[in-house]
Structure 1
Amino acid sequence: MGAMLFTQCKTSTPSQPTQATTPEAQTAAPQAKEYTYTTVPNDPLKARIYTLDNGLTVYLTDYKDAPRIQTYIAVRAGSKNDPADATGLAHYLEHMAFKGSSKLGTKDWEKEQVELAKIEALYELYRTQKDPTIRKKTYHQIDSISGVAATYAVPNEYDKLVASMGMQNSNASTWVEQTIYYGDIPSNQLERWAMLESERLSVMVPRLFHTELEAVYEEKNRSLDSDNNKVFEAAFAALYPTHQYGTQTTIGTVEHLKNPSITEIKKYFDKYYVPNNMAIAMSGDLDPDQTIRIIDEYFGKWQKKADPVYNAPQEKPITAPVVKEIVGPDAESVFLGFRFPGVKSKDALVLRMISQILSNGQAGLIDLNINQKQAALGAGSFAEIYNDYSVHFLSGNPRQGQSLDQVKDLLLQQIELVKKGQFEDWLIPAIINKNKISKMEAYESNEARATAFVDAFIARQDWADYVKQDAEFAKITKQDVMEVANRYYGNNYALIYKRTGKDPNAQKVEKPAITPVPANREAQSDYYKTVANKPVSDLQPEFVDYKKDLQEGQLKAGIPVYYTRNKENGLFNMYYVLDMGTNNDLKLGLAVNYLQYLGTDKYSAEELQKEFFKIGCSFNVSSGQDQIYVSLSGLDENFEKGLNLFESLLKNPQPDPQALKDLVAGILKDRQDAKLNKNIIHSVAMVNYAKYGPKNPFTNILSEQELKKVKPQELVSLIKSIPSYQHRVLYYGPRELQAITATLNTGHIVPANLKPVPAEKPFKELDITKRQVYWTDYNMVQAELLFLTKSLNYDPKLVPTIRLYNEYFDGGMGAIVFQELRESRALAYSASSRFANASKKDRANYILSYIGTQSDKLPEAMAGMQELLNDLPLAEANFTNAKASVRNSIATERINKTAILMNYEQARKLGIDHDIRKDIYESLDALTLDQIKAFQQQFVKGQNQTILVIGSKDKLNFKELAKYGTVKQLTLKELFGY
């Protein structure tokens, strides 16, 4: 039938166990319910789509990569559905959905609901009050009654259950037109999952409302500290002055967060959280017949209601650029946004093509004309496709001395080339080919497979139409691109200038007075016990056996090859790995960066990128402190062509003086910009300073003077030398080991005798001999703290205990840190603490604890984290859950494909010869809570710390900081070394 797609209807009957009949039992068993489902020919996922009697849509695809199932529960409701006077409602409801139900998360619902009703009424009163004194009095009442209500609550029951089940990545997200609840479960936990999810999403209970609201305040503060977030809010506001995409944000306004309405949240829930407006999407090791029976048994009880109605506001055409300016501490940049129609328009599909013509990471117009030529510091293009409208964003960062308008003009010039069709004819077919490769790679992941279902559901696309998109994408012509480009790209864009400075419009959500609520760790609801006691089948772990799961070959010059077979598709990944990096030779990092701007004696740098893109291959060379990875990946059918291009570049790179001059100038500008980046300052520069002192791996760089002295030929010689050092090859692909060895013996160009790698310059890890506090000034709303403790060196014997300690202490939303600092005390949106094993033998383990909070909460936050580190709360129920979580996670985890190679590489670094997860699994049963406590007492409690603080000087409480050690300010020059 050619490319035509259609939907097929089928029925399935869940399999039933065979029963022997006896003369006394001749009555026929009741007939099993039949379920009708649809499939789509040529569907790469071979999906079944069911619709339950109540309207719930269910997408299922069987993919036995591991005994796990990726689950999504999707609601067609997001921030565009928020009432205009209660923005942020959809997002806050998402938070409340984790609090349980009238059965889950409560010790005594009858008593609890009375107190919750009082709190709801008080919040409605609070919203109407304007006098600060009266509002404070009402909030005090809310806080007081919340404390009473909390005595009946069992916090984090949902989180404890999913952790014990072995669910991974349990979380949720809200965006403009969807709210998604997700988690990756062991396949034997399907019924428990269904029991739990169907219960907690069947009703909205505003339990622990005011402490969770404080967590949302913190999330808002984090968004106020994000220049990137402010840029996108400004862009959407400029593009959509009428539609909710631009008139309201997902997290909501400060004013609305200060005046929440439980009543409005309940109305929203009742309207949108209905089965006919929701879908379940699953991909993994599942039996579709049994799965749909379980889903129907639990979710089929939900009651169908009226379909929610949404009428999208229509925007007027933009007739002139809408210019906005955002000021903040980050580096300068410029953003352009063009408005397009929504997802079901063919023009939105063409937009995806246009975006890749401009930027595909290799051979797009922006890639070649701006990034490859280093005409700006960095530029890109991406499309945001929504139901009602779409956006095409272009962005760029200026070089030293370059204005934002010059970067803007460069971006607009590339669009003009698209409008005129001034791009090569092979580019569209190559993009289509890359799209196919990307789909193959993506569909090796259960997460990506299930996400495709969610995308189709939220977009209200039939699965047949969603699958058909790839075929439609492949039909797009240059004429289509030019026609759409000329229709949508004109003087009709949003232009956002992101400038560096102090934001004159900075906002902040003030800290309310909140009394901590009890954690009630040992309490359990009856429903919790029902779910936890539901019998499940056992799943047995599979560990990597390096002698069986890896094959080893050898190339000329004694180069070892480590091999695993790709039996799934026609893609390959190959790596040359050298145990040397910038700690061996500082110029190596510069040489590796230089390589991307060089050509060969046959191809210019631009032509080389085009040739790789044409054959569906790509290469990358990356240099770390102690390793170089030279990688080639793509279509195996073009492996020889890719290898030939790849090797010719390594063997014969052509020096380009101008490219080096531009590269050095770009590096110097990057270094300036890094000193404006909060995350780099705190998580990289300060951590390195604390571990090693002022001379550390992060500051181990070529000086500006040294950079400017480097000659092109020096770097070319270094590049040519890379294959001449001792190295190994890692290969994952469809070819047999013998075949790949033969190809590499011919194509991999190396000398007869390889040189040993040069000696590494070591950096000594400093002992932390006293308590000290380092702080750095940064203009921000929040304060962020890292508590760093150096511990003993890596010891494989301690790994099982460390794994269980981490799971118990900070294994997710049901663990101690989250319960105490967020749920009970409302001190942070994000808090964590890990005992981190070293990544190499003979290196130290570290305890790294983090909390980000409002600056005025810093005293309570520091005290709270220190209390937990020094006095580990003991809760047998939490410990049992933590042990079950580790056991279930390991039993269902499968290390396969390229992960086998990387797992082996990591084991080599640690000096171990086996899969360390086996030690953890086999030690679990014998480990006790007393042993975890003893570990904590020996290695965590009372240890000297370096506390790293980043925040605004005028907001930090230095008197409080001094309680924790000698306080010293670190300047950016001290941290960066320049």
Structure 2
Amino acid sequence: MTTRKGLSLFLVALGLTFTQCKNETYQTQSATDTAAVATTEKEYKYETAPNDPLNARIYTLDNGLKVYLTQYKDAPRIQTYIAVRAGSKNDPADATGLAHYLEHMAFKGSSKLGTINWEKEQAELAKIEALYEQYRTQKDPAIRKKTYHQIDSISGVAAKYAVPNEYDKLVAAMGMKNSNASTWVEQTIYYGDIPSNQLEKWAILESERLGVMIPRLFHTELEAVYEEKNRSLDSDDNKVFEAAFAALYPTHQYGTQTTIGTVEHLKNPSITEIKKYFDKYYVPNNMAIAMSGDLDFEETIKTIDKHFSRWKKAPEPAYTAPQEKPITAPIVKEVIGPDAESVLLAYRFPGIKSKDALVLRMINQILSNGQAGLIDLNINQKQAALGAGSFAEIYNDYSAHFLTGNPRQGQTLDQVKNLLLQQIELVKKGQFDDWLIPAIVNKNKISQMKAYESNAARATAFVDAFIARQDWADYLKQDKDFEKITKQDVMDVANRYYGNNYAIIYKRTGQDPTSQKVEKPAITPVPANREAQSDYYKLVAATPVSDLKPAFVDYEKDIQQGKLKSDIPVYFTQNKENGLFNLYYILDMGTNNDLKMGLAVNYLQYLGTDKYTAEELQKEFFKIGCSFDVSSGQDQIYVSLSGLDENLEKGLALFESLLQNPKADKQALDDMVAGILKDRKDAKLNKNIIHSVAMVNYAKYGPKNPFTNILSEQELKKVKPAELTALIKSIPTYQHRVLYYGPRQLPAITATLNEGHIVPVALKPVPAEKAFKEQDISKSQVYWTNYDMVQAELMFLTKSFNYDPKLVPTVRLYNEYFDGGMGAIVFQELRESRALAYSASSRFSSASKKDRANYIMSYIGTQSDKLPEAMAGMQELLTDLPVAETNFTNAKASVRNSIATERINKVGILMNYEQARKLGINHDIRRDIYESLDALTLDQIKAFQQQFVKGQPQTILVIGSKDKLNFKELEKYGKVKQLTLKELFGY
């Protein structure tokens, strides 16, 4: 389960602003307007909006449930969201985290699903609820311990009647992808991507499990929430944003309550309060279903009505937003933690219904749009800080504008703050180009076109409108209103809201003096009951569905091949949906061929040409709705250009001029080198880089590995601008291939590239690659690194056989059975049964290139004091694979349904072909998996595990706080060695 913040920030980072398109009034129609139906059938009225890019139909069932539907038939799948207009702002002040915990409970089933004897289980659950009400009022530690022991004991009895993860098993067997949920300040969203033939099963299941709240397996799930809280306490970013929200909203629940809740409230939960919350907010007239995909409007609404109409309408929940007083002076806060230093500025704005909130979206992009915003050009392009950005969070009652920055070496946080404030002042004075606003409008149109190629984005737009209490027509109208925003509007709003009224959060590096954690309670593991099935489970599983046939990529038919001048191969797939293009030049060389090439590629972003400065070049690209990127990996360089196909020639001319005539800039190089050195320093403070990148590379290759294969500080400082510009110019002189996805035909794009792509008559072969040899893991060993954190994170790494396409079907089924989601073995055992972690996984990870090894990678993040149980639990599963026929049947059905309904299309065809080339195969490997499924047995999966997983030597990677780790326990698994940051990073 996730919180909404992570999702919304992710969308901001991608630029997926689903700002809207519009119509002033609704049109009311009937589903029978376009189809003849029997007179006895119910007539479903729906609303539409003119000029709607989604051609959506919005229904309202008799019980008030909103249903948003749109068709998008690029694959036989449907993205589903069930939205509740209730989040953490609706939590009782004395029971924060309640909405989020209820979200977890919603996956536990119902009085029919997830139980083999509801009458007996219900009686035990009532006892547990009563004990929790006593427990939360008790103060004496001895009495609390005794009460919790009773809770734990009775929970064990209740668990005998429970069937954990029945919902998860069913949706996995259906072929649902991304089954999860998220909670944020004013919404809780349940989501899943289903095959289109599984609609009836989906409706049966969702109407059942969200129609009632059953606090099943409450105390083990509570432990998972504890771990989620501990993860948030280990996140400096999370602490910074909590501080910012608290400063902006000292009265409103946005700031006074957090989504996961306080430690104190998590320690004293109330099942009774959760039930009250459910009864108040989980009512059909406060909920909506949003769906996009390969659906039939009439059949879909009939199915939804058939199953969801039994939900009973109730009074719509009332909410009165607390009113904040004006901020009259900067509110200064400080957050201390192990991550690198940064600064965050935050301004309060009105809520989504205000026009000023719409103007805020424009201001945000004037400041930071990834290409030509004021922060992009004046700070990032000029390397005035290590990195800076801007994003807006727009909610119902209030909104917030955040500006972030990271300092360069020797730069203070106040200097970064002043740089950000200077950009705000430019906005207030209107000191930005007149063409910028129209270009932003154009960029948003392009972003929307890209976004609406995704069912998830289309359905998300519905959810956003519903949560904001906006009619669909009003939601769409925002696009037209956005286009009408003027420079004067921007200046007026900026001068109204940006003053000495901000919150500033200084994130400093150090040990947090306020560090806390949710302590581990004594929990007895509950039975997994893997082979048990409720009658309801059997009923749903037996519901017949129509058969869907897979469609595999045929590289010869689905990709057209041509030749450019100088014998350059071009691979082509046509875009028949919109006017956007993607163009790639791909070179099979990277940092393993030439370290300085990676540096040159990075340098390119700061350079201009003989005609344009670097800043002017970015502006020119932005004006025409195009963007470019050059990236260098270990073994490939990707040169990409994308945007409006009508401007491809202009974009190509600009880009080719940059490759041919990059203008050396010594100051830009000096600043870039200084920035690289500061980035390297900051990387040593980043837990994820240390554990998931540096330690993994060390374990696979030893101290000299692709991650440490970098130019030294001394070598960096010796590099001359002319060396790098020469390397940039050499990129198109090496052998490469071209990929194009766009609306043109192959002859037309060939002609355009023959004229615009500047290359020599004969291309040079790429230089030899310096490949790193994967070292053998012949005996078990433990590497650990010290990091100030609440949790400990462990990764178990085993080197296996080299990539073998013949074993891919077995590997795919093994992974689905063992770790294919919340209904699979790992999740069931380590989280549901033993409550050892919020996050745990184990995958047989296939190599991405031929002649490379596969690896078994198992992960668990847990409280440090649970490390012994967590390690033992994971090792037990890796040693003796639990055998469960039901899980295996579901895993096989999941793989079959997923492959039958997924479609690789658009630019994905070209990328799939690129991956196949790396693996040395000439066909869609999914065909092999699908055609092998019927013959694969559980005995074969068990044999695979016995041969390749059980008893294999491991390198165990541990990151945690030295004073919290149990080294005696670690020594049981092999020789323990501390890895210093210098060993891991090579500097």
TM range (shorter): over 0.9
1:352-367 maps to which residues of 2 (within 5 A)? 352-367=361-376
Q: What is the CA deviation profile of residues 404-423 of structure 1, one whole-angstrom value per residue up to 9, with x for unaligned ones? A: 00000000000000000000
Specify the code of the residue in structure 2 equivalent to 1:823: E
Partner of 1:977: 986
Sort the Cα spacing of 1:15 and 1:834 in 2 relative to 1 into closer, same or farther, 3 A. Answer: farther
* Contact 1:170-1:183 within 8 A present in 2 as well: yes
Question: In structure 1, what is the Cα distance between the partners aligned to 2:967 and 2:263?
Answer: 28
1:359 Cα offset (Å): 0.3
Question: In structure 1, what is the Cα distance between the partners aligned to 2:36 and 2:952?
Answer: 59
1:236-315 maps to which residues of 2 (within 5 A)? 236-315=245-324
* Contact 2:22-2:478 within 8 A present in 1 as well: no
Q: What is the CA deviation profile of residues 547-577 of structure 1, one whole-angstrom value per residue up to 9, with x for unaligned ones? A: 0000001000100000000000000000000
Specify the code of the residue in structure 2 equivalent to 1:174: T
Partner of 2:450: 441
Partner of 2:220: 211
Question: In structure 2, what is the Cα distance between the partners aligned to 1:3 and 1:321?
Answer: 39
* Contact 1:15-1:289 within 8 A present in 2 as well: no
1:545-556 maps to which residues of 2 (within 5 A)? 545-556=554-565
Residue 10 (str. 1) matches residue 10 (str. 2)? no
Partner of 1:528: 537
So what's the TM-score if we normalise by structure 2? 0.97
Question: In structure 1, what is the Cα distance between the partners aligned to 2:772 and 2:809?
Answer: 28
Partner of 1:25: none
1:17 Cα offset (Å): 11
Q: What is the CA deviation profile of residues 924-971 of structure 1, one whole-angstrom value per residue up to 9, with x for unaligned ones? A: 000000000000000000000000000000000000000000000000
Partner of 1:398: 407
Question: In structure 2, what is the Cα distance between the partners aligned to 1:207 and 1:45?
Answer: 40
Question: In structure 1, what is the Cα distance between the partners aligned to 2:566 and 2:873?
Answer: 58
Partner of 1:964: 973
1:793 to 782, 786, 802: 802
Partner of 1:67: 76
1:5 Cα offset (Å): 2.6
Secondary structure of the structure 1 residue equivalent to 2:360: helix
1:810 to 812, 819, 830: 819
Question: In structure 2, what is the Cα distance between the partners aligned to 1:732 and 1:16?
Answer: 37
Specify the code of the residue in structure 2 equivalent to 1:496: I
* Contact 2:23-2:51 within 8 A present in 1 as well: no
* Contact 2:22-2:474 within 8 A present in 1 as well: no
Question: In structure 2, what is the Cα distance between the partners aligned to 1:48 and 1:5?
Answer: 16
Partner of 2:856: 847
Q: What is the CA deviation profile of residues 745-792 of structure 1, one whole-angstrom value per residue up to 9, with x for unaligned ones? A: 000000000000000001000000111000000000000000000000
Question: In structure 1, what is the Cα distance between the partners aligned to 2:925 and 2:565?
Answer: 32
Specify the code of the residue in structure 1 equivalent to 2:125: L
Q: Is there any run of 5+ residues in structure 1 with no aligned partner, and where?
A: 19-28
1:152-167 maps to which residues of 2 (within 5 A)? 152-167=161-176
* Contact 2:22-2:50 within 8 A present in 1 as well: no
Partner of 2:61: 52
Residue 828 (str. 1) matches residue 837 (str. 2)? yes
Partner of 1:22: none
Residue 936 (str. 1) matches residue 945 (str. 2)? yes
Question: In structure 1, what is the Cα distance between the partners aligned to 2:562 and 2:697?
Answer: 39
1:12 Cα offset (Å): 1.1
1:585 to 569, 591, 594: 594
Question: In structure 2, what is the Cα distance between the partners aligned to 1:403 and 1:65?
Answer: 51
Residue 647 (str. 1) matches residue 666 (str. 2)? no
1:34-183 maps to which residues of 2 (within 5 A)? 34-183=43-192
Q: What is the CA deviation profile of residues 511-560 of structure 1, one whole-angstrom value per residue up to 9, with x for unaligned ones? A: 10000000000011111111111110000000000000000010001000
* Contact 2:779-2:954 within 8 A present in 1 as well: yes
* Contact 2:810-2:941 within 8 A present in 1 as well: yes
* Contact 1:773-1:961 within 8 A present in 2 as well: yes
Secondary structure of the structure 1 residue equivalent to 2:241: helix
Residue 724 (str. 1) matches residue 743 (str. 2)? no
Sort the Cα spacing of 1:720 and 1:255 in 2 relative to 1 into closer, same or farther, 3 A. Answer: same
Partner of 1:681: 690
Partner of 1:475: 484
* Contact 1:96-1:206 within 8 A present in 2 as well: yes
Residue 463 (str. 1) matches residue 482 (str. 2)? no
Secondary structure of the structure 2 residue equivalent to 1:70: strand
Question: In structure 2, what is the Cα distance between the partners aligned to 1:394 and 1:592?
Answer: 28
1:428-827 maps to which residues of 2 (within 5 A)? 428-827=437-836
* Contact 2:112-2:536 within 8 A present in 1 as well: yes
Question: In structure 2, what is the Cα distance between the partners aligned to 1:30 and 1:93?
Answer: 42
* Contact 2:970-2:976 within 8 A present in 1 as well: yes
Q: What is the CA deviation profile of residues 414-471 of structure 1, one whole-angstrom value per residue up to 9, with x for unaligned ones? A: 0000000000000000000000000000000000000000000000000000111111
So what's the TM-score if we normalise by structure 1? 0.98
1:135 Cα offset (Å): 0.3
Sort the Cα spacing of 1:3 and 1:33 in 2 relative to 1 into closer, same or farther, 3 A. Answer: closer
| Superposition RMSD in Å | 1.0
Specify the code of the residue in structure 2 equivalent to 1:819: Q
1:4 Cα offset (Å): 5.4
Secondary structure of the structure 2 residue equivalent to 1:964: coil
* Contact 2:22-2:49 within 8 A present in 1 as well: no
Question: In structure 1, what is the Cα distance between the partners aligned to 2:891 and 2:961?
Answer: 38
1:263 Cα offset (Å): 0.1
Question: In structure 2, what is the Cα distance between the partners aligned to 1:748 and 1:480?
Answer: 42
Question: In structure 1, what is the Cα distance between the partners aligned to 2:951 and 2:314?
Answer: 57
Question: In structure 1, what is the Cα distance between the partners aligned to 2:749 and 2:23?
Answer: 39
* Contact 2:22-2:51 within 8 A present in 1 as well: no
1:345 Cα offset (Å): 0.4
Secondary structure of the structure 2 residue equivalent to 1:530: helix
1:80 Cα offset (Å): 0.1
Specify the code of the residue in structure 1 equivalent to 2:686: N
Specify the code of the residue in structure 1 equivalent to 2:699: A
Q: What is the CA deviation profile of residues 140-179 of structure 1, one whole-angstrom value per residue up to 9, with x for unaligned ones? A: 0000000000000000000000000000000000000000
Specify the code of the residue in structure 2 equivalent to 1:532: A
Identity %: 86
Sort the Cα spacing of 1:16 and 1:935 in 2 relative to 1 into closer, same or farther, 3 A. Answer: farther
Question: In structure 2, what is the Cα distance between the partners aligned to 1:957 and 1:366?
Answer: 46
Sort the Cα spacing of 1:529 and 1:14 in 2 relative to 1 into closer, same or farther, 3 A. Answer: farther
Question: In structure 1, what is the Cα distance between the partners aligned to 2:597 and 2:948?
Answer: 38
Partner of 1:26: none
Specify the code of the residue in structure 2 equivalent to 1:744: L
Q: Is there any run of 5+ residues in structure 2 with no aligned partner, and where?
A: 1-20
Secondary structure of the structure 2 residue equivalent to 1:866: helix
Q: What is the CA deviation profile of residues 224-263 of structure 1, one whole-angstrom value per residue up to 9, with x for unaligned ones? A: 0000000000000000000000001000000000000000
Specify the code of the residue in structure 2 equivalent to 1:560: P
Residue 341 (str. 1) matches residue 350 (str. 2)? yes
* Contact 1:7-1:40 within 8 A present in 2 as well: yes
Secondary structure of the structure 2 residue equivalent to 1:128: coil
Question: In structure 1, what is the Cα distance between the partners aligned to 2:282 and 2:155?
Answer: 26
Secondary structure of the structure 1 residue equivalent to 2:972: helix
1:13 Cα offset (Å): 4.0
* Number of residues of Structure 1 aligned to a counterpart in Structure 2: 967
Q: What is the CA deviation profile of residues 693-738 of structure 1, one whole-angstrom value per residue up to 9, with x for unaligned ones? A: 0000000000000000000000000000000000000000000000
* Contact 1:583-1:625 within 8 A present in 2 as well: yes
* Contact 1:13-1:32 within 8 A present in 2 as well: no
Partner of 1:951: 960
Question: In structure 1, what is the Cα distance between the partners aligned to 2:597 and 2:964?
Answer: 42
Specify the code of the residue in structure 2 equivalent to 1:875: A
